[in-house]
Amino acid sequence: MAVLGIEGTAHTVGVGVVEADPDAPGRCRVLANVRDMVRPPRPESGEAAAGIHPREAAHHHAEVGPELVRRALDEAGLEAADLDGVAFSQGPGLGPCLRVAATMARALSLRHGVPLAGVNHCVAHLEIGTGLTGADDPLLLYASGANTQVIAHVRGRYRVFGETLDIGIGNGLDKFARDNGIPFPGGPRIEQEAARVGPEALHPLPYTVKGMDLCFAGTAIAAQRLVDRGVPFPEACYSLQETAFASLVEVAERALAHTRKQELLLGGGVACNARLQEMAREMAEARGASFHCPPRPVLVDNGAMIAWTGLLKLRAEGPTAVADSAVRPYERTDAVEVTWR
C-alpha cells in the first residue's frame, strides 16, 4: 500500500511517498520525501529579518507544489494512478497554506480515482516517529515552530499533558534570531552560536513551568535584553537554549512519571537540536526509559509524515469524503479520534 502525502501548514510545502514495511508490522518505509520552503527576503545589515507572510507562503506552495508531486512520484518509481491514497495536512496551520495543500490533494484524488485522507499535522509528527524508530507507545516531546506539547496516547486519543501557554519554542528562537538579523529559520544558527561557549557562559533567565505547561516569550525577551546590555551573542544563545530546553525536559519527565510510559520520542523541527537531544536522552536514560529520535528530514515539516499518518487512517477508517475535507486551521491534537491504534 503506497500513499502520497502533501504537507502545507506553514513555511514548508513537502511531498512524501511511503509504504508499510512488509517485514515489520507497524513500521514505515519512506520511498520519497521532497520539500521546499518559502524564504523571506534577507534583511539589510542591522535590520530585523522579516517573518512568514501567510498569503505569500501559500503562493509559493502553489507555484512549486505540482513539481514536488512529480519529483516524489519519480523518486518512488510510481505513477499517480498506482497510489493507494493521497493524504494532506488538514490542520492546524495557516489557512491560505492549508488550502493549497488540500486543493492539490483533492485534485490528485479526483483526477486519478485515489482515496483521500485529511490528517492532523501534530499527530503526523508523532506517527512518523513511531513508524520509523521502533518506539511503540511513547511519550512525545513535540517541539516545533508554532507548537510545543508533551503528548501521549491514553484511552483512544493523543492527550496533551503539557504545552506552551504563549509561543512555540521554535517561534521564540526564530524571533530572537530575527531581532538579531538572522533570517528564518533561526534555530540552527542559535545552536551553532551556543556551541561556541560552555557552562560558564550561562546567564540566569526567566524559567517558567506552570504545572505541566510552559512559557517562552519572557525567556526570549530577557535573552534579547542580555544582547542589548552587551553580553556576547553566543552567551545569550547558550543561556536561551539551556533555560528553554531545561523547562521542556522537566515537563517531559513529569509526564513520563505520570503516564508511566517507557519510551521518550522527540518530534518537530527544534528536535533537530543536538543539545536538546542530549538533555532529553540523559533524562530518559536516568529514568530507565528508552530514547528515540527520527532523522532530520522527518523531524521538520515534511510530506512523508503526512503520507504515513494518511496510510494508517485509510487502513483504519477508509477515505475522507471531499465534503469533509475542508481545512481546519485550529484543530487540536486531542480533538483527533485515533482509530488506528
In the complex, the residues that contact ligand ATP under the rule CB under 6 A are 9-10, 12, 93, 121, 144-147, 168, 170, 173-174, 185-188, 191, 268-270, 272-273, 300-301
The interface partner of residue 10, options being ligand ATP, Fe ion, none and the CB cut-off 5 to 8 Å by kind, is: ligand ATP
The answer to whether 216 touches 169, Cβ cutoff 8 Å, is yes
Q: Does 301 bind Fe ion (CB under 5 A)?
A: yes
208/302 with CB nearer Fe ion = 302
Strand partners, 208: 215
Please state the φ and ψ torsions of residue 189, each to the nearest 5 degrees. Answer: -70, -40
Q: Which is nearer to ligand ATP, 144 or 208 (CB)?
A: 144
For ligand ATP, the closer CB: 319 or 328: 328
Minimum distance of Fe ion from residue 287's CB (angstroms):
27
Query: Whose grid coordinates read 519529483?
Result: 71
To the nearest whole angstrom, how small is the minimum distance from the Cβ of residue 38 to ligand ATP? 12
Alpha-carbon torsion angle 286, 289, 290, 292, nearest 10: -90
Binding-site string for Fe ion from residue 201 to residue 230, where x marks contact by CB under 5 A and - marks none: ------------------------------
Query: Of the two residues 20 and 276, which places its CB atom closer to ligand ATP in the complex?
Result: 276
Give the Cα separation of 54 and 51 in Å (integer).
10
In order of 3, 138, 269, 293, the CA distances from 24 in angstroms are 17, 18, 27, 19
The reply to whether 127 sits near Fe ion by the rule CB under 5 A is no
With both helix axes pointing from N to C terminus, report the angle between 169-179 and 187-194 in degrees, rounded to the nearest 10. 80
Q: Shortest distance, CB of residue 124 to ligand ATP, whole angstroms?
A: 9
Supply the DSSP symbol for 164.
B
- What's the Cα-to-Cα distance from 85 to each of 54, 77, 233, 299, 317, rounded to whole Å? 28, 16, 48, 22, 13
- Cβ 325 to ligand ATP shortest distance, Å: 19
CA–CA distance, 40 with 258 (Å, rounded to integer): 42
C-alpha cell at 167: 509561543
Residue 184 and residue 282 in contact, taking contact as beta carbons nearer than 8 Å: no
Amino acid at 237: C
User: How many residues bind to Fe ion according to rule CB under 5 A?
Assistant: 2
Amino acid at 253: E
User: Residue holding cell 523547562?
Assistant: 247
Residue with smaller CB distance to ligand ATP, 131 or 145: 145
Question: Taking contact as CB under 5 A, which single stretch among the options 95-103, 215-223, 276-284, 293-301 is the one that binds Fe ion?
Answer: 293-301
- Under 8 Å CB-to-CB from 260, ≥6 apart: which residues? none
Where does this chain touch Fe ion (CB under 5 A) — which range of 41-49, 245-253, 298-306, 314-322? 298-306
Minimum CB separation of residue 132 from ligand ATP in Å reads 15
The residue (of 144 and 219) whose beta carbon lies closer to Fe ion is: 144
Q: Could you report how far apart the first and last alpha carbons of the chain are, in Å?
A: 18
In the complex, the smallest distance separating the C-beta of residue 188 from ligand ATP, rounded to whole angstroms, is 4
- Containing 87, the helix (H) or strand (E) segment is strand 85-91
Q: What mask, x for binding Fe ion by CB under 5 A, covers residues 137 to 156?
A: -------x------------
Q: Please state the closest distance from residue 61 (CB atom) to ligand ATP, in A.
A: 13
**What is the nearest approach in angstroms of ligand ATP to the Cβ of residue 190?**
6
* Interacting residues with Fe ion (CB under 5 A): 144, 301
